[in-house]
């Protein structure tokens, strides 16, 4: 798949049967629809999964950031802001093909989830450290 930001080929990162597409140039990450949910589900993070289910219903965010095209259907994606204070701007395909995180945004999100939910759930910690591992480790 081609990165919606810099048009480079993305690499596939696999972890516990979940595949993500990762751009080594801009560090952006594409989650196919269901993959992020699957990952959270496999770790028993129902709460975090709910949070993702709601993402599609979020209103379009007002942003000067350029619209990105879905790497699957090449329709323009919707911008949505997640996080009360952080305001992470992610791109979502309205055809539900998946979601796009710019470089660094996944880390912001995982930090955010960790902050909202104090470290008492081990499984959540696992997902957070997994995401950090994947997206901060050079391939």
**Strand pairing report for 98-101 and 29-32:** antiparallel
Q: Which helix (H) or strand (E) holds 127?
A: helix 122-136
Provide Rg for the chain, Cα atoms. 14
Instruction: Note whether 73 binds Zn ion by CB under 5 A.
Output: yes
Query: Least Å distance between CB 113 and Zn ion?
Result: 24
Least separation in angstroms between CB 23 and Zn ion = 3
Q: Which of residues 86-115 bind Zn ion (CB under 5 A)?
A: 93, 95, 97
> Is residue 9 part of the contact set for Zn ion (CB under 5 A)?
no
Q: How is residue 77 annotated by DSSP?
A: P
Q: Closest distance between Zn ion and the C-beta of residue 37, in Å?
A: 16
Alpha carbons within 13 angstroms on the beta-carbon side of residue 26 total 17
The Cα 64–Cα 15 span in angstroms is 34
Closer residue to Zn ion (CB): 3 or 90: 3
For the bound state, the minimum distance from the C-beta of residue 49 to Zn ion, rounded and expressed in Å, comes to 21
Q: Under the criterion CB under 5 A, does residue 1 sit at the interface with Zn ion?
A: no
Question: Closest CB to Zn ion among 101 and 127?
Answer: 101
* Separation CA 139–CA 125 (nearest Å): 22
For tokens 């960790």, the residue is 114
Q: Does 5 bind Zn ion (CB under 5 A)?
A: yes
Q: Which residues bind Zn ion (CB under 5 A)?
A: 3, 5-6, 23, 25-26, 28, 70, 72-73, 93, 95, 97
């Amino acid at each position: 798949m081609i990165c919606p930001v810099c048009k480079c080929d993305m690499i596939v990162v696999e972890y516990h049967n979940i595949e993500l597409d990762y751009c080594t140039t801009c560090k952006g990450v594409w989650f196919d629809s269901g993959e992020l949910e699957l990952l959270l589900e496999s770790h028993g993070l129902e709460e975090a999964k709910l949070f993702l289910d709601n993402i599609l219903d979020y209103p379009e965010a007002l942003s000067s950031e350029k619209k990105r095209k879905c790497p699957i259907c090449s329709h323009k994606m919707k911008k949505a802001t997640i996080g009360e204070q952080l305001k992470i701007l992610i791109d979502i395909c309205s055809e539900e093909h998946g979601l796009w995180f710019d470089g660094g945004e996944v880390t912001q999100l995982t930090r955010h989830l960790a902050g909202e939910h104090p470290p008492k759930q081990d499984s959540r910690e696992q997902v957070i450290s997994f995401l950090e591992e994947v997206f901060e480790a050079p391939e």
